[in-house]
Each structure stands twice: as C-alpha cells, then as structure tokens.
Structure 1
C-alpha cells in the first residue's frame, strides 16, 4: 500500500536514475546494522515449508533476486534484509565497460514490463572482487552472473568467462554463464550447438581445476534465452547436460514484442516482466520434461505474485527469480510472494515447496 502511493513519484524519474537512487539507499541501509535487522525481521518469511537445498547450498525460501539489479556487488548485504532466498550479482565482465548509450532502460507501464539494452555495463571483475572483500557477506547463497566484454570476439569468449571464475571464485556460491542477453552483439550466437559444447567444456574444466586447487565447489549454471525454437532449446539443454552444466536459468529477456501497448514497445533490447510470464513458464515445463529433474532449474520471467511463482515451480522450477516485479510491486515483493505461495500450498494440499516442483507434469 505504501509503495503504491510512492510509485507514481518514482516512475516520474528516469528509470536508470531511479535505479541508481535505489542503490544509494541500499548502501545507506548497509551502514546501519540496527535498521538492517529491523528490515530483515519485517521482510523475512520464516516457514520450514519454504526451505530447500541444492548444490550443497541452503535456501530459506525459493524467491531470489535476478542479476541486473546489483551489477557490481555493492548492495547484496542490503538486499538480504529484504527477505530474498538468494541474490545474484552481475552481469560482471572481465574488463570495465560502459555498456550501451543512454537512454537504455524503459518502463512499459501499460504492460507491467521493462525493456533494457544496458549492454553489460560493469565495473569489471577486479572492482567487483574488491566490493566482495569490503561488503559483509550475509547468510544466504550469492550467485555471480558472468558476461563477456563487447570487444571480445566469440572465438575467445570462453577466456572471458574463465577470467570471471578465476578472479571471483572465492566470492560466489554459484556462477551463471550468461550467453543469452540480447544486448551484446552476437552473444546469443554462443548458444548455437557448433559453439556451445566447446565453450561450456572449457568453463567446466576451469571450474574443476579451481575445485582441486582451492577445495571449494561452485556449481556452474547456464542461463538460456526464451526465443529459441523447441528444437534449439532441446539441443542447448542436451549440450549443457553433456558438458557437465549443473543448473539452468530459464529464461532471460525476450526480443519478441507481441501484444504490447506501451509507446516504448518498439525500443530495442530485452523485454522482461508480465509479457514474459506465460512464455517462460511454458519453456520451464519443456526443459523439465527433457531433463527429468536431473539438474535444478531456476525459473525467471514475469513473476509478480505467489501464483506466478507457484506455476513456475509446478512446471519444474526448483527456485525462482524476480526483478521487474520488484520495480512494480516494491521492495517487499519477496515477502508478498512467499506469503501468497504458502496460502496456495495450503489450499492445494502441498506440505513443502519441494512437493510443488514438477507437480504440473503429474496432472
């Protein structure tokens, strides 16, 4: 209710400026342990039915924050106070880069969506590594989403992801290989089967070497695009499994524009939010059917409510991620979704969130 009152004022500000203001507010929050604790008590939903464990990591609830908000690992501690089950930092590139020219972020208010063409704006792996050293790590899994630099040719892309692993390996609890953003030229070409197996094999080999050297296990997760054909997604998932990938994020933003009403609907970039909700859920269903639960799936795309989350879990997601939903529902979105999810589980006779996973395939 409070956020619905504030939102018109926030939406009157340029979206990227509003984002930067949010980062500044969270940095300020992190300097006040008492206030952090008060926020956490208010936002965190404690219920054993929401808990799960994957990759040796414990998740207090299934609602995570997707990459794109805390791009440089500056405010994950403040975000923890908002009740998320996991937080993903990034995308992080090896070298610092500005990303695409501004404006590059648009609110599609009539559609409850966003279009972004940020282009992996990043302070680079070394600066992000410094932030991890100076920012207290909260007790929840922190993922790091890795991207490649714009200037790096696709033939050398594996070296960029390997660099990210080398520098940040001790700081992340899991790593996401992002080759599905539509905002870096030719990046999605890395999803083609002729490129994918070699790329993933090199990354997995590097992780295995780091595991032996540092005695730290960090799962490697692949983030896939929603715009692949059914045959392409089947090939991508099959290749990922054969290469040793240990999880999938389904899905990234879409370049489709069907059914939009906003004046910004023709802007270039990736579309996220409500227009993507059904498409991503259907894709999760297909991927789960193919993988048969062999590896965990993180469902992302258009999650605003507990029902949105429930449908993705039932389709086969083990965890879910939000971002655009937070822009429209506010900082308490994880609390709202978790409370709504518990009510739905009660109504439908599920005793734990793990029982929900893949249940749509049994109907």
Structure 2
C-alpha cells in the first residue's frame, strides 16, 4: 500500500515539501497522548531479547532514526511510537539559521537514495532546548546531534559547539558532535585530528559536567581516508569518548551537489564500520548508519561490531512501519540463531 502511495502520489511532490509536512504531522501526533500511546503499544519494540545497553543508556531495540529528519526536536515521541529504538534529533546549531537555498533535497528513486544540501537548517539550540524540556509521554531515547553555525569562522568552531552543548547536553540521553556534513563550508576540515582534539575536549568537558554525565560521540564521514579513520578512532580512545557514529553522507557521487545517502552508501559505510571495529575492538560503542534498508543490513552491521544501527533514507522508501517491522524480524532472527539476547550477535564476524 505504501509503495503505491509513494510511486503514485508522494513522488510527484517536492521532496522537502513532503518532509516538512511529515514532520508537522508527527509533531501534532507527539502532543496527542492517547494516539501516541496507542501507537507505541502497537509498534514499539518490547521483546526483552532486543534490549541493549550502550554507554550507560538502555535502548529497547538496536535500530534507531539517524539525525537529519527531526532537525528541531519537534516529533521524537511520535517517531519512537512508530517503532524506532532511539531518535537522534538535529543537526542543531548554536544559532538559528535558514540553511542553503532551495531546492536542496532530491530523491534518486531508482537508486533508493537521497541527495541533500540542506545546510543545517534549524531554529537553534535555545528553541530545541525548550522542546526537549517537555515531559516525555512515552519512553524514548533521544540523542542530540550538534553542528557548527555556518557564519562562525573555523577558528571559533569549538566555542560554537560548546555553546550548543551547554544548552542541550543536560537534556540529551547522548550528545553527538557532527563534523562530517558536506553542506557547511569547511566543516569536514574539523575532522583533522589537530583541529578535532581541542574541539572534542572542550565539548566533552561540558558533557561530563552535566548532572548525569551525558555520553559523547563523534560522527564521521565515509569519505575519510583509512589512515584518517584510524586517527579519529585513536583520538576517540585517547579522549575517552563514548562512541563513534559511522557514517554521514558521501560526496563521492555524480549529479546534484550535496551529500548522498541510501543504498549507494551501503558498502562504504560497512567498510568503515569494519575498519573501526578492527581498530578499537569493543572498547568504544560503534553506531553504524548509511545504506541500511532492511533487517539483513541491520543484522550484518551488528555482526560486524555495531552496537546500534540507524537509518533514515530507507524510511522514505519503506513507509511508516519500517522500524517496527525490522525490530519484529530481529526478534525472530535472534531466536532462530538460538541466542538469548541480541547482544550475543554483536561483533561475531568482526
């Protein structure tokens, strides 16, 4: 049914228009307690065998929504009610900004992919903090992804990230430093270890100082050279970060300018995960994202060493119940393999 709706109706509308309409609808659902709770009981993962603990946070299932969809923390509860085990909101910047000019979001339906050059469009950290302070009507793990404000020069990037972290870290279940989007000029330069070390150290000081000590992760690009991946992994261990998210979108493609996500990213994202696992073992949590389409992809990432897996583009092509379906299929797979818990699958082929 959803495939028919997508091909006959949704595909005919501008991608960003559909995106904003979906977020608004889910934001309304987030403030309708009866409907939200009903959906949560029906679709959220409840199998004890799927529960995972990572960096001191308990997740009802390993599969979550990547950053980029709920940019302003407007609808995390509704997203969780549709079956995601966690929701990463953002990317949020210290100051509100409109992002890049439209059009800036493009479907590649034949490749089951997206190209975006959104440019961190969001209402800023203060607005997101107001939403995150609301009492959560359903249990949902919320990660907060922060990035650099476009107008802030590179030399002041650390202070800009710290400003966001100061407002958002106390309200997040975990915090992510995004230095890997291709759509903010100069941002990916911050992945160089000499620049990344002081930035992460400054944000970590803020995260460590929250009442519950907010776990801190860094999100990297798939386009890093292997030596640079190793260097970031070593830095994460050196600084005592809680995790690495691999990977963001890629600029290694033809066509519209921007970051490519979806099926074409699958093999590189998996390769980066395997390299990270070989470098860090199980000393740090690895979160895999990029090209995840179905339960086979999620299972493969877990076996390769990811503790958590995220998707986003696949949701667009597979419909609203995608995450719930994947968690149900994971429950069956755990039992088929004779495992007591999905944690027993993590890293088996690493």
- Same fold by TM-score, threshold 0.5 exceeded? yes
In structure 2, list runs of 5 or more residues that go unmatched: none
Task: Output the CA distance in 2 between the equivalents of 1:193 and 1:45.
Answer: 38
Name segments (4+ residues, structure 1) moved above 4 Å: none
2:115 match:
115
More displaced stretch, 135-144 vs 95-104: 135-144
1:98 match:
98
1:199 Cα deviation from its structure 2 partner: 1.5
1:267 match:
256
1:82–1:334: 8 Å Cα contact kept in structure 2? Answer: yes
Task: Output the CA distance in 1 between the equivalents of 2:45 and 2:142.
Answer: 19
Task: Output the CA distance in 1 between the equivalents of 2:191 and 2:22.
Answer: 33
More displaced stretch, 348-357 vs 166-175: 348-357
Task: Output the CA distance in 2 between the equivalents of 1:30 and 1:121.
Answer: 21
2:308 match:
319
1:128 match:
128
2:276 match:
287
How many aligned positions are there?
349
1:4 match:
3
1:99 Cα deviation from its structure 2 partner: 0.6
- TM-score, structure 1 normalization: 0.93
The within-5 A match list for 1:18-97 is 18-97=18-97
1:273–1:301: 8 Å Cα contact kept in structure 2? Answer: yes
1:309 match:
298
- TM-score, structure 2 normalization: 0.96
Task: Output the CA distance in 2 between the equivalents of 1:33 and 1:189.
Answer: 44
Task: Output the CA distance in 2 between the equivalents of 1:31 and 1:128.
Answer: 16
In structure 1, list runs of 5 or more residues that go unmatched: 258-264
Deviations along 1:275-317, one digit per CA (max 9) or x if unpaired, are 1112111111110111011011111011110000001111110
1:135 Cα deviation from its structure 2 partner: 6.2
2:172 match:
172
1:183 match:
183
Deviations along 1:139-171, one digit per CA (max 9) or x if unpaired, are 121110000111111111111111111112221
For the residue of structure 2 that corresponds to 1:349, the secondary structure is coil
Deviations along 1:213-237, one digit per CA (max 9) or x if unpaired, are xx22101100011111111100111
Alignment partner of 1:242 out of 238, 242, 246: 238
1:31 Cα deviation from its structure 2 partner: 3.2
Task: Output the CA distance in 2 between the equivalents of 1:137 and 1:157.
Answer: 35
Task: Output the CA distance in 2 between the equivalents of 1:44 and 1:186.
Answer: 39
Task: Output the CA distance in 1 between the equivalents of 2:27 and 2:65.
Answer: 17
Task: Output the CA distance in 1 between the equivalents of 2:228 and 2:57.
Answer: 31
Task: Output the CA distance in 2 between the equivalents of 1:315 and 1:351.
Answer: 19
Task: Output the CA distance in 2 between the equivalents of 1:205 and 1:35.
Answer: 40
2:181–2:248: 8 Å Cα contact kept in structure 1? Answer: yes
